Amino acid sequence: MTQQSERDLRNLLSQAQKALAAGRLPEAEEQLARAGKIAPKLPYRLYLLGLLRHQQRRHGDALTHFREAMPHLQSDPIALFNYATVLVCRFRTEVQRPCGMRF
C-alpha cells in the first residue's frame, strides 16, 4: 500500500465514522465501500461496517462483520460493548419476538 492510498484510506474511514455519528447512513456506506476497494479486510473498516449494518437493522450482517473484526479489536471495550449490543438486538428480533418471549 502506498503512502497516498494509506492517506486516502484514513480519510475515507474518518469520513465514514463522522457520517455514522451524524446518522448519514448512505454517505457512510459509500465511504466504506470506497475504503473496501483499498483494504477490504481492514478490521476497523469491518467494525464500522458492522455498526452501519446495525443502524440499518441488518443484525445478521452486522454480526458477520463484527466477527471478522473482533479478533483484532478484542482489547477495545467499546468495540466489545457494541458487539454485545448487536447480539442482544439480533436475539430480540429473531428469537424473542417470534417465540412470544418477554424480557
The domain that holds 7 is classified in CATH as 1.25.40.10
For residue 103, pLDDT over 70 is answered with no
Whether 64 contacts 30, CB under 8 Å:
no
Total number of domains constituting the chain? 1
In tens, the pLDDT along 21-48 reads 999 999 999 999 999 999 999 999 999 9
List, as own/partner pairs, every contact residues 48-53 make where C-beta atoms lie below 8 angstroms and the sequence separation is at least 24, other chains included.
48/13, 48/16, 48/17, 48/20, 50/82, 50/83, 50/86, 51/20, 51/82, 52/16, 52/20, 52/25, 52/28
In tens, the pLDDT along 58-81 reads 988 988 998 898 888 888 888 888
Range of the domain at 58: 3-99
pTM for this entry: 0.81
